Amino acid sequence: MKNIIKKLNVLLRITVVSLLIFIMQSQTTTVQAAQNNKTESGASKVYMRGLYIPNHHSRNLKFIKALVANGKTSGINMLVLDVHSYGSTVLKVNKSVIDYLKSENIYVTGRVVCFQDGITKLPIPAAQMKTLNALVTSAADSGFDEIQLDYIRFADEKRPYKLKTRYEVIEEMLKNFRSITNERKIKLSADVFGRIVYNRDDLIGQKLELFAAYTDVIYPMLSGRNSERWS
């Protein structure tokens, strides 16, 4: 009986793996077909399928090469690389990684965490803003196709600041970061809580219309409570 159960478990695992491979191949074929159709029609839009890479891996050229070799078969044509390690504001970018990715026609995005836990106090210290501006500027000078702003928001808790004030603070930062990327002719994007797509007057100070005015791309983050639909 134990041998039969063992064989059934092995068979089940093989079936699941085969199904996953089939799904990935089907999705890749669909994406490639869509890209081909777009190209034939003369349109410039390209479907992007990307992966996020933490900083310690994003600087490892050997790791990146292996990732690209395996990822291309699944339609991966974009990588989002952390430009600094967790809790740090020091730029850590391997230029050879970026050059390699571009040689492989991989769209490269540099992710910058603006406020790890959200803004908790106003005014934001001048030294902190100076450091953040320098980090975004250095990242923009590193050869990325796009700079992605993450955690550009207030803390997800009640604070004695009016919504109007929160919007103004975030808008001023977006305006400044946009000027940095415009000067270098690269794109600017931002991660936002998934719930603000449905929300109005969210206490974190993120508003879809506000971000749309200054960014080329908006990435709604769907995870846990952040993706709950609020009314």
| pLDDT, tens only, 67-125 | 999 999 999 999 999 999 999 999 999 999 999 999 999 999 999 999 999 999 999 99
State whether 61 and 32 are in the same domain: no
* pTM of the predicted structure, to 2 decimals: 0.79
Picking from 82, 102, 100, 106, the residue whose alpha carbon sits closest to that of residue 92 is: 82
State whether 25 and 58 are in the same domain: no
pLDDT band per the 50, 70, 90 thresholds, residue 158: confident
Is the pLDDT reported for residue 228 higher than 80?
no
What percentage of the chain has pLDDT greater than the value 70? 77
Q: Residue range 150-173: average pLDDT?
A: 95
Q: Are the beta carbons of 30 and 56 closer than 8 angstroms?
A: no
Q: Are the beta carbons of 216 and 174 closer than 8 angstroms?
A: no
Is the pLDDT reported for residue 10 higher than 70?
no
State whether 171 and 190 are in the same domain: yes
Which CATH number characterizes residue 209's domain?
Answer: 3.20.20.80
What percentage of the chain has pLDDT greater than the value 90? 71
Sign of CA dihedral 61, 65, 66, 71: positive
**pLDDT reported for residue 15:** 35
More confident residue, 124 or 10: 124
State whether 172 and 82 are in the same domain: yes
State whether 164 and 222 are in the same domain: yes
State whether 120 and 150 are in the same domain: yes
Contacts of 126 by beta carbon, 8 Å cutoff, 6+ apart: none
State the Cα angle at 127 between 161 and 183, rounded to 5°: 95
Least confident of 14-18, 140-144, 159-163, 178-182: 14-18
Whole-number Å distance between alpha carbons of 135 and 83 = 9
State whether 37 and 63 are in the same domain: no
Is the pLDDT reported for residue 19 higher than 50?
no
Output 116-121 pairs: Cβ under 8 A, ≥24 positions apart.
Answer: 116/86, 116/87, 116/151, 117/151, 117/155, 118/151, 118/153, 118/154, 118/155, 118/156, 118/204, 119/153, 119/154, 119/155, 119/169, 119/205, 120/154, 120/155, 120/159
- Give me the chain's average pLDDT, please: 84
Query: For residue 51, what are the β-bridge partners?
Result: 79
Picking from 50, 91, 35, the residue whose alpha carbon sits closest to that of residue 189 is: 50
State whether 205 and 133 are in the same domain: yes
State whether 198 and 137 are in the same domain: yes
**pLDDT reported for residue 1:** 53
Domain span including residue 3: 1-44
More confident residue, 222 or 129: 129
Q: Read off the pLDDT of residues 25-45 as tens digits, 9 standing for 90 and up.
A: 333 433 444 444 444 555 568
pLDDT band per the 50, 70, 90 thresholds, residue 229: very low
**pLDDT reported for residue 38:** 46
**pLDDT reported for residue 110:** 98
State whether 68 and 129 are in the same domain: yes
State the amino acid at position 46 in one-letter form.
V
**pLDDT reported for residue 199:** 86
State whether 57 and 152 are in the same domain: yes
Indicate the number of domains in the chain: 2
State whether 81 and 58 are in the same domain: yes
**pLDDT reported for residue 29:** 37
**pLDDT reported for residue 55:** 97
Final residue in a domain of this structure, among 9, 28, 44:
44
State the Cα angle at 134 between 192 and 218, rounded to 5°: 20
